[in-house]
Amino acid sequence: MAFRHPDRDQIRIEDVLSALGNAVRLAAVRILDAGGEHNCTSVLNTLGITAKSTMTHHWRVLRDSGVIWQRPSGRENLLVLRREDLDARYPGLLDAILSGARTDAALDRGDRTGSAA
């Protein structure tokens, strides 16, 4: 099961933005960003939702847009953020998005600090 990933210079910001402009995928990327190795079900369980096939769909969108690497390992499927590539092509973009997502999450939780640290 070899997945097709775009090369670094085939990545398009329009695709990245629309990939991340979805609550489930943005949450998934936040989990990947937190570090550690993740397989599909681990993220799926953390999100607490969705059928496996739904998640497969979201992984494909993230993979096709160049946001993640998806690498088969044994019977699992390891997921990693393509941070180096994204940072190289769009400096500051990923950090801005991720800390923005934290800001939103804090607001939605009712925090009044305005901080996203």
Phi-psi region of 50 (alpha: psi -120 to 50; beta: other; left: phi over 0): left
> DSSP state, 70?
E
Identity of the residue, 76 or 116, whose beta carbon is nearer to DNA in the bound complex: 76
State which of positions 32-61 bind DNA (CB under 7 A).
Answer: 39-42, 49-61
Contact (CB, 8 A) for 95 and 114: no
The span from the CA of 32 to the CA of 58, in Å, is 14
Q: Does 65 bind DNA (CB under 7 A)?
A: no
Contacts with its own copies, residue ranges (CB under 8 A): 9, 12-23, 26, 89-93, 95-97, 99-101, 103-104, 107
Contacts with DNA, residue ranges (CB under 7 A): 1, 18, 22, 24, 39-42, 49-61, 70, 74-77
